[in-house]
Amino acid sequence: MASFKITGDRRLKGEIVPQGAKNEALQIICAVLLTKEPVTIHNIPNIRDVNQLINLLGDLGVRRTRLSETSIRFEADDINLDYLESDSFRQKAAALRGSVMLLGPMLARFRKGRIPRPGGDKIGRRRLDTHFLGFEKLGATFSYDEEDGGFYRVDAANLKGTYMLLDEASVTGTANVLMAAVMAEGTTTIYNAACEPYLQQLCKMLNRMGAKISGIASNMLIVEGVSELKGTEHTMLPDMIEIGSFIGLAAMTQSEITIKDCQIPELGIIPDVFQRLGIKMEFRGDDIFIPAQERYRIENYLDGSTLSVADAPWPGFTPDLLSIVLVTATQAQGTVLIHQKMFESRLFFVDKLIEMGAQIILCDPHRATVIGHNRETQLRGIRMTSPDIRAGVALLIAAMSAKGVSIIDNIEQIDRGYQNIDTRLNAIGAEIVRL
């Protein structure tokens, strides 16, 4: 198990470029299975989850040609479906939550699929019902065999378009069902679809491959099935979660940072939420400049009541940034209620922030009230463990702003979502040592 040793209370200065979007990468890379023709993908993040998925595709028979540090050409013309029955596939796919995204493309092209119960973050219940209910609506049947190593087996010999109302606006559920529907017979209407930029990117890519998808960026997607798809070229968006993390990091460490190439129109309300915490920023073309701020003050509502920041389906605020907002608020002037609606265990890392000296009341598994210090009391360095990707980076931000030295264990969780984060932050003045 690797660890970070962080010497805190250092101000950073310089430019930092966000990686390609992790949440987009997992579905875009799975989509290469939909065609025999080459698919070239640019701006691929060099992170553990994405690399594991790319390697898993290689084991399935997908040829990969690296064109540059962030670009790969995939060719899925000779897929070995027998590999799905192997112990190797079971172990590798079970360790990667994104592996469930293989099912939609496999059902579309091969009319069958097999996947073990996926792993991933320990942040609460993350059900797969949306995926499987959508597949069933399209005519697929599935079974779950506990004795067979916990495998889901799906048969889709007769995929037919239909109307479906998703039980939740799940990003991965929408993407998975969409990839199955593009080669189903007839027309599929997906209502209550997620409409995050990641989904919009996938839809645009599939249309370039020959799919017929309308309603992009809305919560109703209409898909006219086609018999086959062709190759394409695709460039992924910058990671909005990294961009938000860097905004919070700059505020907490009183640093002057320029975040490059942000594709600001795709960020939705993310900049607005951080501005409501009192963080100043300037939009310079497609860059976001965060000036060094001695203090920042949380806005109240117009009637004077306490600000509440809650997650919601897009275009609401992404749940992946609530932990960053929470830690950033610990040194603000004012009070904010953080309401994590989606995952019941994602706020449990606040006990480490409290141990560092933060003033936080954990109201219940979904809500926490943060009373900001207004820099009158500095956080102190401690030893802690990263429970998941986003909480791990929140703890890293806390450690970088704290007085003294902190150790964060289990940083493999951070590496799952943030590319060479220690190297990139050290380049602008941080002091992070990988142990």
- Residues marked as binding for phosphoenolpyruvate? 22-23
107: phi then psi, degrees, rounded to nearest 5: -65, -40
The catalytic residue positions are 121
Q: At 409, which amino acid appears?
A: D
Euclidean distance between CA atoms 413 and 415, whole angstroms? 5
172: phi then psi, degrees, rounded to nearest 5: -70, -35
- Of 306, 409, 276, nearest in space to 367 by CA: 306
CA dihedral of 305, 310, 314, 318, whole degrees rounded to 10: 130
CB 358 within 8 A of CB 379: yes
- Of 78, 82, 81, nearest in space to 37 by CA: 78
- Of 234, 329, 330, nearest in space to 273 by CA: 329
Measure Cα distances from 13 to 147, 155, 288, 355, 386 in Å: 55, 54, 14, 28, 26
Euclidean distance between CA atoms 263 and 285, whole angstroms? 9
Query: How is 164-175 classified by DSSP, letter by letter?
Result: EE-SS--HHHHH
- Residue 22 has, within 13 A of its CA and on its CB side, a CA count of 23
Pairing, β 256-259 against β 13-16: parallel
Query: How is 16-78 classified by DSSP, letter by letter?
Result: E-PPBPHHHHHHHHHGGGG-SS-EEEES----HHHHHHHHHHHHHT-EEEE-SSS-EEEE-SS
